[in-house]
Structure 1
Amino acid sequence: MMGDGGVKQMLAKPIQLADQVTKWADDVHYFRQECAEVKTKTERLASLLRQAARADLYERPARRIMVDTEQVLDKAFALVSKCRGGGLVKRVFTIIPAGAFKKMITHLDNSIGDISWLLRVSTASGDEDAHLGLPPIAQNEPILFLIWEQIATLQTGSLETRGDAAASLVSLARDNDRYGKLIIEEDGVGPLLRLVKEGRLEGQESAALAIGLLATDTDSVEQMMQAGVCVVFAKVLKEASMKVQAMVAWAISELAAAYPKCQDMFAQNNMIRLLVGHLAFETVQEHSKYAITSKMSIHSVVMDNKNQNNPNSAHKNAMPADLIDTSDSGMVKYPNHGKQPLQQNQMHNVIEHTMNTKSVKSVKSTGLNGSMSSAGVKAREFEDADTKAYMKAMAARALWYLAQGNPAICKSITESKALLCFAVLLEKQTGDVQYNSAMALMEICRVAEMDADLRRSAFKPSSPAARAVVDQLLRVVEKADYDDLLIPCIISLGCLSRTFRATETRIIGPLVKLLDDREGDVSREAVVALTKFACTENYLHMDHCKAIIAAGGAKHLVQLVYFAEQAIQIDSLILLCYIALHVPDSEDLAQAEILTVLEWSSKQAYMIQDPTIEELLPEAKVRLELYQSRGAKIYH
């Protein structure tokens, strides 16, 4: 932030000009009194310039002030030179306006004020008043100079005043996006990051909040990433107070939301592992001491739990060596050993009981948060419940935005204990923790829908974690309360449609019931989700179409096609076409007069203009006509 060579060079010419003005002011023949006053002001200015040359100046305002000061001294030199001797002819033809000297004195006073402010702002120790006042040059851009003052305080002030300066920048960034851009352009990110790393609690929180608020667009985030955000945030997530860690997690979510390309940079700095560690704390297991490794199946945990309950067990108080995770990653996996998957609650209780009844001492810390200092782990155990909940909410939010459209990060998340954590939080928590967990799951499911490898590895039916997730998604959908959780859970089930076996019949019914929901957006998302089950691309589309019909979906879809809003009509017609294509001989479709619905739809111009309907509708009509009578009534 502070200038050296470049600013020093800019000072050379103003100092030379000031000395020249002072020298020539002693050798004038006209306006001697006025020139003497100019000399006095110039000597004061020259003294301040030499003081500035010895100081470590804040470069951004220094450059602007030096340019302005040089222009003032140029004019002073020209004015004084006119007053030197040159004969009668020169005096007659040299015109000096009456107010020229008064105007020059004002300019010199302003330059003195500017340089004085620059010296104060560049060398503030934090013991002075909080506000240094604005220099004369700031009349046209007061906000810019206020920002400069706060950034300078962040550089040179005490921890207390640095915290106050960060809070001021938070207010400015909240007020206006342009102010946020100015904070970045004027080199404010570096001092904020240093405060996040080494300040007091309130100062750290304010600085992290400011970083998040500055994430207004891709350019802003890119500049902050180049300033070293990832390294500082990773350090904070390992060692800082939980309140600061929560604010940093929120800031990560803001950065990732504004600039998705930064996701991989966060992942490269171990951010996924650290965030999942915070998510898992007091959720599934005490992960700083215990871990379920890739070599350990759920069956192993169950068998070990049985041994715990067996008084004759020789291993009652010992954990087998192969269960201790000595890997660097500490990732949690749930391989399929051909065992019947546990119900979610049973599984969670077994894991929690097993882990809580063991005490393992390992040379190296295991689990997802293995790199967190032991002091940090101990300190967070004493945090209040609200702070712990806020930390989980922000960790889930960060994972939500980091997972968006990123298969590699989703794979990293799902290979950890995160899926199980999300399931538990969705079941047991409330508010933002619950909502952010649901949104994170939705983004992971969206990626899994398009990525077969992720789908197979993370959501295979035999995975207890995946089954726990589905159980909780289904619980929300079955409850069918119109709240913030319902729609993301509907979307998630739809995205997972290709992961369900033909025997998994419990998903379709609750989704079909939502077709009759009074809220249009709920009905539409239910239609879209069911379409992913019924579409030709789904290998089990025949079974799913039959399940939709069996659950009474046909009559609901007829109502939606006829009477819903236009967007829902089109989505419902697409689903109806898929069902007609795959199960044309259904008696339920005949009783619901689906052929009549398709005939009516084919006469609606706005419907047949949709490319998908244009492709599906004619074929669906042909298939139904082969199996069903055409004697049904036609709607006009």
Structure 2
Amino acid sequence: MGEVEEKTIQDELAVTIQLADRVIKSAEEAESSKAECSEIARQVERLSQKLRSAARLATSTQWLYERPVRRIAADVTKNLDRALTLVRKCKHSGVLRQVFSITTAADFRKVSALLESSTGDLKWLLTIVDPDDINLTLPPIANNDPTLAWVWSYIATIQMGQLRDRVEAANALVLLAHKNDRTKKIVVDEGGIMPLLKLLKEGASADAQIAAANALFHIGNDEERVRSIADAAGVPIIVQVLGESVMRVQVNVANLVARMAEMDSAVREAFARENVTRPLVSLLSVDTVLVLDDPKLKPGKPSISSLVQFNKELAGKSAGHNSYNPSLNSVSSFTSSGGHSSLSVHSSSEGSSRGGHYRKDREVETPELKLKLKVCCAEALWKLSKDSVINSRKITETKGLICLAKIIEKEKGELQYNCLMAVMEIAMVAEQDADLRRAAFKTSSPAAKAVLDQLLRVIQEESSSTMKIPAIKSIGSLARTFPARETRIIGPLVAQLSNSDNEVAIEAAIALGKFVHPENFNRVEHAKAIIEFDGVPPLLRLLRTSERANIYGLILLSYLALHVGNSKALEQTQALSVLDSAIRSGVPQDYKELFARAIHNLNLYQAGVPTHRPSYPP
């Protein structure tokens, strides 16, 4: 059997009205407790009038907020049923009354109180579905849970109120739900997502869009609620607004994208299908000059056709998407110097009819707002690229890497950090995906070169461990892309083994371990380079700093022993003794075989045999 179709709100109210009429008729036919039944009839008549008013509003209102109407109608129906049962008992008198039932004054008082509560609920309901009526009191139904009534009131206003009231209600919803996950769940359960998305999409004012985006941001702080936003077709709306709105709206929408992407991997993929990375990269590149070693842009030959072709590549293939169709990024200048071609790329996002209007607005925005937008867009790209091949690929295909590299070079603080984290996440995805690694990080790629230069610069020049760590992790993830001759990468990583910040030193050891991992084709050459940069002494010192450092340091030392076991540096630093001592003191089971093989290999080249021999095959 198929699912039972839900009644319309008009049908539901009609059934309740009919029930009220039956109660009145039965009360009028009472043969006992006539005074009490007459009072019940009077109360139900008042209730019936309000039900009819609600039915008229439901018919005349185009986009009625139904949740409280259905909930209160159900509660009224239940109370009317109790009233009908009571007054029917009064249709008989004398002996028959005693035989069939007994009614008491307490029964009438209880039913009367329930009907009074229902009247109060309906009176309050009429105020929230009628914008011209104002009532600041709470309904009786909310006595045990006032939050529900406030949520109903705010959602009803967002859905049906005047624009200014809708903005105020969205902001009030944020204050109500702030740091209260239960309230956020109530907002979702009571249908608050759709009205907020409608307010965001309409674009009636920047303040309205900001209020809606901010409310969705605060509600969407867990996976389930973020999925609810996506299930309400929120992703296409959010991407469209991101591409079409004024800059201060875009800041809030980019924050919303970052929050949703962080909370749910499925939503990250939904954003990828709507090509959200394209407007984000475009906005991130506002006023940024990108220098490219691109054969299509030869110095001294900036033809119109080459400009158009490059511009098309920068804009990509978004024309096929209905939800977001930005125009091509504008190229404001083209110069040649030092064998490089220079492009000043500005955000356009002007595929919609609103784009031309907003372009002038962007030109007069404050540097502080532009910086804030870049920070938010970089964070969104960071969160979107995490564990996502498709988003990482789209970022690299839209010249996102070169943009990230340029910002890492020029900016400081939060913007630089967010860009480093975006590069790190893309690199971590590329580590597991050979196609992405070859396409985005091939050594001949200008973007890959630019990113690598900046990662090395951050490792060597930045004093902050917060900045160093993502740069080190990025290079470690890309270890398999570097040829044997690329020794300039090894030196800076070896230098970080002596860093006073233990976490930086550990990450350097982990990254170097990937260069000499058995799956790395150039492992032997990289191992030799580590030895040549005198990496063994600081590595052995690192082993003594912490348990985590000891494990990752021993892994790196074992790989060196396997690949360059005849090295004098390993012999002089007594690496064999260090590994033997480690395996004696007990190491995780996962690494015992690796350490045993390393000891065996060192024994082949070095004089003397350790006193401890593993009891299992090397």
Determine if the TM-score, normalized by the shorter chain, exceeds 0.5.
Answer: yes
* Cα 1:74/1:632, change in 2 over 3 Å: closer
CA distance, structure 1, for counterparts of residue 40 and residue 396 of structure 2: 74
CA distance, structure 2, for counterparts of residue 133 and residue 25 of structure 1: 31
CA distance, structure 1, for counterparts of residue 29 and residue 174 of structure 2: 54
* Alignment partner, residue 314 of structure 1: none
* Alignment partner, residue 65 of structure 2: 58
Is 1:276 equivalent to 2:278 in the alignment? no
Classify the secondary structure of the residue corresponding to 1:187.
coil
One-letter identity of the residue aligned with 1:204 = Q
CA distance, structure 1, for counterparts of residue 103 and residue 338 of structure 2: 95
* Alignment partner, residue 387 of structure 1: 369
The normalised TM-score by structure 2 is 0.88
CA offset at residue 443 of structure 1?
0.5
* Alignment partner, residue 430 of structure 2: 448
One-letter identity of the residue aligned with 1:604 = S
> Superposed, which structure 2 residues align to 1:85-234 within 5 Å?
85-90=92-97, 94-124=101-131, 129=134, 132-197=136-201, 198-234=203-239
Is 1:615 equivalent to 2:593 in the alignment? yes
* Alignment partner, residue 324 of structure 1: 308
Is 1:371 equivalent to 2:373 in the alignment? no
CA distance, structure 1, for counterparts of residue 599 and residue 125 of structure 2: 80
Post-superposition Cα deviations, 1:346-381, rounded to whole Å, max 9, x if no partner, equal x9977998445x9xxxxxxx9984636222223212
CA distance, structure 1, for counterparts of residue 209 and residue 407 of structure 2: 28
Post-superposition Cα deviations, 1:495-530, rounded to whole Å, max 9, x if no partner, equal 111222222222212211221223222221111101
Q: Over aligned residue pairs, what C-alpha RMSD do you find?
A: 2.8
Is 1:255 equivalent to 2:239 in the alignment? no
Post-superposition Cα deviations, 1:436-468, rounded to whole Å, max 9, x if no partner, equal 111100010001111122112211222222111
Post-superposition Cα deviations, 1:120-144, rounded to whole Å, max 9, x if no partner, equal 212225xx65x64321011122212
One-letter identity of the residue aligned with 2:279 = L
Match for 1:574 among 555, 562, 580? 555
One-letter identity of the residue aligned with 1:580 = A
Match for 1:475 among 444, 453, 457? 457
Contact 1:331 1:368 in 2 (8 A): no
> Superposed, which structure 2 residues align to 1:346-425 within 5 Å?
354-355=342-343, 369=349, 371=351, 373-425=355-407
CA distance, structure 1, for counterparts of residue 347 and residue 17 of structure 2: 63
Contact 1:154 1:165 in 2 (8 A): yes
CA offset at residue 248 of structure 1?
1.0
| Gap regions ≥5 residues in structure 2 | 59-63, 318-334, 613-618
CA distance, structure 2, for counterparts of residue 96 and residue 232 of structure 1: 59
Contact 2:246 2:362 in 1 (8 A): yes
Match for 2:294 among 298, 316, 323? 298
* Cα 1:589/1:31, change in 2 over 3 Å: same
One-letter identity of the residue aligned with 2:85 = A
Contact 2:298 2:341 in 1 (8 A): no
Contact 2:159 2:195 in 1 (8 A): yes
CA offset at residue 603 of structure 1?
0.5
* Cα 1:348/1:121, change in 2 over 3 Å: farther
Post-superposition Cα deviations, 1:60-108, rounded to whole Å, max 9, x if no partner, equal 1222212211121122223323334533552687533233333332211
* Alignment partner, residue 325 of structure 2: none
Classify the secondary structure of the residue corresponding to 2:484.
coil
Q: State which drifts further: 525-534 or 448-457.
A: 448-457
CA distance, structure 1, for counterparts of residue 156 and residue 559 of structure 2: 65
One-letter identity of the residue aligned with 1:573 = L
CA offset at residue 29 of structure 1?
4.0
CA offset at residue 323 of structure 1?
2.8
One-letter identity of the residue aligned with 1:462 = S
Post-superposition Cα deviations, 1:273-305, rounded to whole Å, max 9, x if no partner, equal 1111111111136xxxxxx9xxx962554512x
Post-superposition Cα deviations, 1:503-559, rounded to whole Å, max 9, x if no partner, equal 222221221122122322222111110101111211111121122112221112222
CA offset at residue 473 of structure 1?
0.9
Is 1:47 equivalent to 2:29 in the alignment? no
CA distance, structure 2, for counterparts of residue 8 and residue 506 of structure 1: 75
Contact 2:289 2:342 in 1 (8 A): no
CA distance, structure 2, for counterparts of residue 353 and residue 165 of structure 1: 51
CA offset at residue 575 of structure 1?
0.4
The normalised TM-score by structure 1 is 0.85
Identical pairs, percent: 39
CA offset at residue 22 of structure 1?
2.2
> Superposed, which structure 2 residues align to 1:601-612 within 5 Å?
601-605=582-586, 607=587, 609-611=588-590
Is 1:459 equivalent to 2:461 in the alignment? no
Contact 1:21 1:76 in 2 (8 A): yes
* Alignment partner, residue 419 of structure 2: 437
CA offset at residue 149 of structure 1?
1.1
One-letter identity of the residue aligned with 1:53 = A
One-letter identity of the residue aligned with 2:11 = Q
CA offset at residue 271 of structure 1?
1.1
* Cα 1:350/1:273, change in 2 over 3 Å: farther
CA distance, structure 2, for counterparts of residue 156 and residue 368 of structure 1: 34
| Gap regions ≥5 residues in structure 1 | 286-291, 308-317, 334-346, 359-365
Classify the secondary structure of the residue corresponding to 1:175.
coil
